[in-house]
């Protein structure tokens, strides 16, 4: 029996070591808050075993006061806050990109590398303020995170890491979390402490956090400098100039159908189509359109919840479908009027990130 790290028995395990997986699509739309046992896991090394009594968080770099904090100090010295935030892997929906053209050595995520939780911890801003950091003065600085998990790339072993701009770090919603949905942070989600950066790709929400460094440049870590960069469709592993790729930060607008899968055969008549939508950065989901004919005609979907910044929106719509073949399509618009691109060819990139093309599901409806 392989370890499931407390995950639901239906969990789709994409790799065992490091442990990576997520919930089946139908489970995703069951609730606004994703239960811990259904929350996707994206790790780059094995889950480290951490002795909480010996654990320290180091805060260093361009600070006036270096900090070395125990978990007790973190919990008692700073205000406890709870932030709802959706985390999504930049590789979510890579499977569709791979179908177009192979993407070797990367996980073939379906639509499951996303989840929404209530994160409890302390504001990164407060910890940085305790270290003497002045956000307004350091407008061009970066905050570098290093985790305790060990990984290997290009023949070298190192700890996972990444960074965000200080301007983002000083927003009150970036937190150092020690609880997830009211429970102690589970080991595969970063026990005892992780960063949660709402609106950004999951890769910046570094788990098993051990060191924070305020510095001039983005993280020098492989996963900031090479991986998690966004390249144009004409770039490949042979002609890549790494510096030309955009370091990913904020997520783009996306939406996915979870209620149906390619090849589903169902009864004609009223069909309820459901899924999730998400806007990145500080943008909200403004509208979700659903089509049953491959994008020729559209119906506006209902959003389940009031728009809440940094939270996905579950949506649903009833379509009256005649017997026959249908291509269901979903597309969302964010509050900056950014839309999703129609064709997957236009977003294909050789690392397989940020696929936010219209999501399409082919189904067959039959007379009752």
Contacts with its own copies by CB under 8 A lie at 230, 232-234, 244, 246, 248-253, 280-283, 286-287, 289, 295, 297-298, 300, 333-343, 346-347, 353-354, 356
Backbone angles phi, psi at 73, to 5 degrees: -65, -40
The distance of closest approach from Cβ of residue 47 to its own copies in the complex, given in angstroms and rounded to an integer, is: 29
The distance of closest approach from Cβ of residue 173 to its own copies in the complex, given in angstroms and rounded to an integer, is: 11
Cβ-proximal residues to 36 (8 Å cutoff; 6+ apart), any chain: 6, 117, 180, 181, 183, 186, 189
Return the number of the residue (323 or 337) whose C-beta is nearest its own copies: 337
SS3 category, 78: coil
The distance of closest approach from Cβ of residue 241 to its own copies in the complex, given in angstroms and rounded to an integer, is: 10
The distance of closest approach from Cβ of residue 232 to its own copies in the complex, given in angstroms and rounded to an integer, is: 6
Q: For residue 206, what are its two tokens?
A: 């570094």
Return the number of the residue (64 or 234) whose C-beta is nearest its own copies: 234
Please report the beta strands in 136-191, taking only residues with DSSP state E, as ranges in sequence order.
Answer: 142-153, 156-165, 175-180, 183-184
Residue tagged 């970036």 (tokens): 174
The distance of closest approach from Cβ of residue 50 to its own copies in the complex, given in angstroms and rounded to an integer, is: 33
Q: 204: how many CB neighbours lie within 10 A of its CB? A: 28
Rg, the chain, Cα only: 21
Burial class (CB in 10 A: 0-12, 13-18, 19+), 207: buried
Give the sheet arrangement for strand 254-257, strand by strand.
Answer: 254-257, 269-278, 313-321, 302-303
Return the number of the residue (179 or 293) whose C-beta is nearest its own copies: 293
Q: For residue 305, what are its two tokens?
A: 């919840």
Q: For residue 59, what are its two tokens?
A: 């805060």
Q: Which residues pair with 359 in a beta bridge?
A: 330
Q: Which residues pair with 333 in a beta bridge?
A: 287, 339
Return the number of the residue (145 or 353) whose C-beta is nearest its own copies: 353
SS3 category, 96: helix
Return the number of the residue (188 or 249) whose C-beta is nearest its own copies: 249
Return the number of the residue (74 or 344) whose C-beta is nearest its own copies: 344
The distance of closest approach from Cβ of residue 309 to its own copies in the complex, given in angstroms and rounded to an integer, is: 10
The Cα-based distances of 182 to 7, 33, 113, 121, 173 in angstroms read 17, 11, 21, 11, 17
Return the number of the residue (354 or 363) whose C-beta is nearest its own copies: 354
Return the number of the residue (52 or 336) whose C-beta is nearest its own copies: 336
CA-to-CA distance for 210 and 197, rounded, in angstroms?
16
The distance of closest approach from Cβ of residue 238 to its own copies in the complex, given in angstroms and rounded to an integer, is: 16
Return the number of the residue (43 or 356) whose C-beta is nearest its own copies: 356
CA-to-CA distance for 229 and 241, rounded, in angstroms?
11
SS3 category, 121: strand
User: In the chain, how long is the greatest CA-to-CA distance?
Assistant: 72
The distance of closest approach from Cβ of residue 172 to its own copies in the complex, given in angstroms and rounded to an integer, is: 8
The distance of closest approach from Cβ of residue 84 to its own copies in the complex, given in angstroms and rounded to an integer, is: 15
């Amino acid at each position: 029996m392989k370890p499931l790290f407390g995950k639901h028995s239906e969990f789709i395990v994409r790799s065992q070591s490091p442990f990576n997986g997520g919930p089946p699509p139908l489970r995703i739309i069951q609730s606004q808050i994703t239960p811990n046992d259904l929350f996707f896991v994206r790790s780059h090394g094995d889950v480290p075993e951490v002795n909480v009594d010996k654990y320290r968080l180091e805060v260093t770099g361009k600070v006036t006061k270096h900090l070395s904090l125990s978990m007790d100090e973190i919990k008692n010295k700073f205000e406890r806050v709870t932030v709802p935030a959706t985390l999504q892997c930049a590789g979510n929906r890579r499977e569709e990109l791979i179908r177009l053209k192979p993407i070797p050595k990367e996980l073939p995520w379906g639509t499951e590398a996303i989840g929404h939780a209530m994160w409890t911890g302390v504001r990164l801003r407060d910890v940085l303020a305790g270290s003497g950091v002045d956000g307004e003065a350091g407008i061009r600085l970066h905050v570098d995170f290093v985790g305790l998990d060990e990984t290997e790339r290009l023949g070298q072993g190192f700890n996972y890491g990444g960074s965000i701009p200080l301007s983002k770090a000083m927003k009150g919603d970036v937190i150092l979390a020690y609880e997830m949905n009211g429970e102690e942070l589970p080991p595969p989600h970063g026990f005892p402490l992780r960063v949660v950066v709402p609106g950004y790709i999951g890769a910046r929400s570094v788990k098993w956090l051990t060191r924070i460094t305020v510095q001039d440049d983005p993280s020098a870590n492989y996963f900031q400098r090479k991986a998690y960069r966004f390249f144009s469709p004409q770039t490949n592993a042979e002609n890549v100039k790494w510096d030309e790729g955009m370091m990913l930060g904020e997520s783009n607008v996306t939406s996915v159908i979870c209620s149906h899968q390619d090849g589903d055969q169902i009864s004609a008549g009223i069909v309820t189509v459901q899924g999730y939508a998400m806007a990145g950065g500080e943008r909200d989901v403004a509208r979700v359109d659903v089509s049953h004919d491959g994008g020729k005609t559209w119906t506006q979907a209902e959003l389940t919840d009031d728009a809440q910044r940094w939270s996905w929106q579950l949506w649903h719509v009833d379509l009256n479908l005649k017997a026959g073949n249908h291509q269901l399509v979903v597309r969302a618009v964010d509050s900056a009027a950014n839309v999703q691109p129609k064709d997957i060819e236009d977003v294909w990139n050789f690392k397989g990130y940020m696929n936010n093309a219209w999501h399409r599901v082919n189904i067959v409806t039959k007379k009752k």
